[in-house]
Amino acid sequence: MTPTQIRQQRDYFEEQEEEEMHLRDYLLIIKKRQMIILAVLGIIFFTTVIATFTATPYYSASSQVLIERNRSNTGLEYQSYSYEPDFLDTQTEIIQSTNVARKVVEKLKLASTYRQYFLKNEKDSFALFSVVAGNFTALGNTVASFLSGSGSGNPGKDKELSGLVQPKSDTDLIAELIQERLKVKPLKNTKIVAISYIDRNPAIAKMVTDAVVQAYIDELLEIKLSTSNYSLKWMNSKAAEERDKLEKSERELQQYMRDNDLVTVENKLTVLPQKLSEVGLQLSKAETEEKELQDLLKQINTVKDNPDRLETIPIFASSEVLKSIRDRMYKANQNIQDLSKKFGKKHPTMVKANDELRILRDERRFEIERIVSSVKNSLDLAVSKKKSLEELLGATKVETLNLNEKFVQYSIMKREVDSNRLVYDTLQAGIKKEGVTEQSQSVNVWVVKPADLPEDPAKPNKKRNLLIGLILGLFSGIGLAFFIEYLDNTIRHPKDLEERFGLTVLGSVEEMKGENKNIESFIKKNPLSPLAECYRLIRAGLLLSSAEHPPKTLLITSMEAQDGKTSTTTNLARVLARGGNSVLVIDCDLRRPRMHSLLGMTNEIGLSMFLAGTAASEDIIFNVPDEEISLVPSGPIPPDPAELLGSKRMKELIDTLSQRYDFVLLDSPPVQSVTDSLALSQFVAGTVLVIRAGKTTYEILESGLKKLRDVNGRVLGFVLNGLKQQDTGKHYYGYNTYYAKDDE
């Protein structure tokens, strides 16, 4: 496989987007999981039927009332009203309150006249619940007292305290029951509220509904009367308390400002942050300068023994003195070269020229040492400057924190003064308002529709319940089916392989069922069966996998064990041999060999002995009895199979045998288990991956393909093994019908 092909294949895997599923794909999933869908549908639907037809019928009576604010046009009272989106919600809660429910019980005498009707079944349940709840409460209190150590240690006192908890009266029990069965709903975009009550008796339902409306009106009147008389008394006493608190907080604030000299605190708070910022900026510059000098000194120390490399550092390269010395040294070298053409080394002129060059080198070394010393002094100065700035920054921070603490306390006390003043002014305004405004009813209620006597039960609604049960069961079953299908990340269809990985599915082999059916020997006994035709299709796919000529050397492997690679190798070899080809099978599984046992051969001499150099290639090739194929057994299991299979001797053996046989099939260990297959994939013309339907996952296959791509292994395609009939359809590729008679 060329690098271009590898890159194209990698781009295909990275950029391929998942295609949308067609409607028939969803229908296939529903058909495949139809038993789960029917089971869930049956359970939910029959549960709904039983619950609906065994439920007690209840009747609902409903009344409608108009509720709105009493908006007065006089003075301050009109200004106090505004749009309240939660007004009807508040009134709804009042209607459903315990006070309204108790008024209904007292008005209709439900705790006496109708006591048996309401508490006939409910009282036992409430009593049982009260006993159980009381036991759990007592146990919880005991444990809490023991753990916290706050128990009184006095049994008599504890018994006296427990006597304060009284059981609920009949009035409370019936009121709770009314609250549970009462339903209040504001009508959308209106000021009308629907009040309904549900009960087993239609007359009781109507009677309680009408009583709830009247009890609600009575509750509004009581709220008005209790609030009106209490308001002025409370505000007067509260105003006196707030006046004292205001005066006290003002005195404390004034004293705190005098004690801490907080007259100019705000000016200081504006100067200190600016000072902190400037010191921080200078410290940052000092740290940067220190780091630059450290890096420069480190760079100098690295090449300090090489003056030529030192002069490449900017600080040396920019030195005018060094530039002058370099120019003079260059001229001295040129002079020496010119003189060397006329005089010898010991000539006085040459000696003088060399002395001048040596003096220049000494000057350069002295200048370099001077610059290095200057860098060290600058570094020491930068360190000292940084330390001073850090001390100044710390002192400034401490001063700022101290000043902030004082200002925070000042702000707290000032807020307290402002808050007390606001409360006091508000109370004074409220007292004046209450004195000049007349208390009136704030809510008006009109009965728009009184309750009627219900004729038909409101629940259970049998038709609706059955329809909901049917729909819920159907969609729950379908949802569970698709959820199970979503969780199933194993490969099941050839189409999924081709669309996701962009490689050809050479063929698919259906799963064999039955105790007496062995796939390794089945096509040998049944050459015209649909299973044999599956392997013929795989053969055809391999013959057409290359444009010029079919691949002669094939590596057949899988992702994991038990995927069927050995049986696929055996059956494919038989099909190729029956096509008039000379076929050789090499058992490259040097860890757990099975090929010799499937073909009825011994394993005393084989591939491992040849790779170890103890046997010749002619000695390890055997003709399989009653077969048209040859076999190279694995031989004795070696200690280092991966090194042997990846050796040069293995490659030479494959090249030699490919000249003698039309096809050479290599059965190797799984890709995910060991690296044997990865080494062998480089010696063959192509690799065939055997995928186990319903077992091999997409993640494992993607990982294996990545390993093969990393070693430039050429993957010819997949063989989908163990395909189940429900995944293939009734007639997969039409073989079951066409070859049914031959199979029999």
DSSP string, 323-357: HHHHHHHHHHHHHHHHHHTTS-TTSHHHHHHHHHH
CB-based contacts of 596-602 (< 8 A; 24+ apart in sequence): 596/631, 596/633, 596/634, 598/520, 598/566, 598/567, 598/570, 599/570, 599/624, 599/627, 599/631, 600/624, 600/625, 601/631, 601/633, 602/633
CA distance 415 to 406: 14
What does the alpha-carbon distance between residue 147 and residue 144 come to, in Å, rounded to a whole number?
5
Pairing type for strands 553-558 and 505-510 reads unpaired
Burial-class residue 329 by CB neighbours within 10 Å (0-12, 13-18, 19+).
middle
Residue 67 contacts residue 444 (beta carbons within 8 Å)? yes
Q: Read off the pLDDT of residues 213-231 as tens digits, 9 standing for 90 and up.
A: 999 888 888 887 777 666 7
Fold adopted by 494-511+520-743: Rossmann fold (3.40.50)
Q: What is the pLDDT of residue 294?
A: 80
Handedness of CA 316, 317, 323, 328 (dihedral sign): positive
656 token code pair: 């030699």
State which amino acid sits at residue 418. Answer: D
d(CA 702, CA 516): 35
Please identify every stretch of the chain with a pLDDT value under 50, giving residue numbers as ranges: 1-6, 8, 12-19, 73-81, 121-133, 136, 143, 146, 150-153, 161, 436-439, 729-744
477 contacts 30 by C-beta, under 8 angstroms: no
SS3 state at 219: helix
Q: How many residues does the chain have?
A: 744
Whose CA is closest to 586, among 603, 567, 607, 605? 607
State the pLDDT at residue 584: 93
The whole-number pLDDT of residue 631 equals 92
Residue 739: what pLDDT? Answer: 44
d(CA 277, CA 287): 15
Stretch (H or E) spanning 587: strand 583-587
Strands 663-667 and 583-587: parallel
Contact assessment for residue 455 and residue 284, using Cβ atoms and an 8 Å cutoff: no
